[in-house]
């Protein structure tokens, strides 16, 4: 994973600064809904649901909201039927973009996404056009200030927990796992007393694509338009640009 420090800095800032409370709760509710729909409504028996609930609680989502999303999925409440979809395309400057969506109206969502791409100099593509450029990984961050463990000790702890790789960057230990092993690694580290700043399964670009400021600014606008859409769960890309632009995105 070396060479991705700028991407990882973006991820940490994004997780720390993602600000719109109502939209955050809505996205968590959709994550919980789809996890419960696919694997049942008991978090103790459904690791994906447990992760979704943990992420919602970390953003202070009320328990009533969490319970309502689970009950909708299990049929205990009437509600919309959501589909989990992925859209792929190229942003300005040929940047690879992957968009994870949870929607009850895919025609509306596709139209909105297509509009965002065309307005910012990009193109919505076919499934598979950029996904090969990303790896799905479990990603865990532990701030060095929250632990007394040095790098060697942390490495041993991560390996013993089942992690694939660990890097030390910008005052943090960044741990990568196989997606299937993510929950067990997360649990093991928490049981060992570590405080996890970030813990998620996400898409990590294999390489970054550098663009000039003009394309970079258009990419910032594209990402902001996409993230403002209610149906969008996550936006992944492989852009590398000036520090000023990366700070914006």
- The pairing of beta strand 134-143 with beta strand 198-205: antiparallel
Interatomic CA distance for residues 12 and 202, integer angstroms: 13
Pairing mode, strands 209-210 and 239-240: parallel
pTM across the whole model: 0.74
* 249 residues of the chain, pLDDT tens digit each: 544 566 666 666 666 555 566 778 888 888 898 889 888 999 999 988 998 999 899 888 999 999 988 988 887 767 667 788 999 999 999 999 999 998 889 999 999 999 999 999 999 999 999 999 999 999 999 999 999 999 999 999 999 999 999 999 878 999 999 999 998 999 999 999 999 988 888 999 999 999 999 999 999 999 999 988 888 888 999 999 888 888 877
Question: In angstroms, what CA-CA distances link 177 with 88, 172, 206?
Answer: 24, 16, 15
- The full set of domains in the chain, from first to last, is 19-74 (1.10.10.200), 83-132+206-248 (3.30.70.980), 134-204 (3.30.70.980)
Closest listed residue to residue 155, CA positions, set 189, 183, 113: 189
Dist. CA 232–CA 87, nearest whole Å: 10
């Amino acid at each position: 994973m070396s060479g991705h420090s700028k991407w990882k800095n973006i991820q940490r800032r994004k997780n720390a600064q993602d600000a719109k409370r109502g939209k955050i709760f809505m996205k968590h509710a959709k994550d919980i809904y789809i996890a419960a729909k696919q694997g049942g409504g008991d978090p103790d028996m459904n690791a994906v649901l447990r992760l979704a609930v943990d992420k919602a609680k970390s953003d202070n989502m009320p328990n009533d909201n969490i319970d309502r999303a689970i009950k909708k999925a299990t049929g205990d409440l009437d509600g919309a039927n959501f589909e989990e979809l992925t859209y792929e395309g190229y942003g300005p400057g040929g940047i690879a973009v992957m968009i994870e969506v949870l929607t009850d109206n895919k025609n509306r969502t596709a139209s909105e996404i297509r509009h965002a791409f065309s307005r910012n100099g990009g193109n919505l593509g076919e499934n598979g056009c950029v996904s090969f450029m990303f790896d799905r990984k479990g990603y865990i961050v532990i701030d060095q200030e929250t632990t007394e463990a040095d790098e060697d000790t942390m490495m041993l702890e991560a390996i013993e927990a089942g992690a694939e790789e660990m890097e030390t960057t910008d005052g943090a230990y960044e741990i990568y796992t196989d997606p299937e092993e993510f929950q067990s690694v997360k649990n093991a580290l928490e049981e060992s007393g570590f405080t996890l700043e970030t813990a998620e399964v996400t898409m990590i670009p294999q390489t970054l694509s550098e663009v000039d400021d003009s394309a970079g600014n258009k990419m910032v606008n594209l990402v902001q338009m996409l993230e403002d859409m209610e149906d969008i769960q996550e936006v992944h890309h492989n852009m590398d640009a000036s520090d000023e632009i990366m700070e914006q995105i």
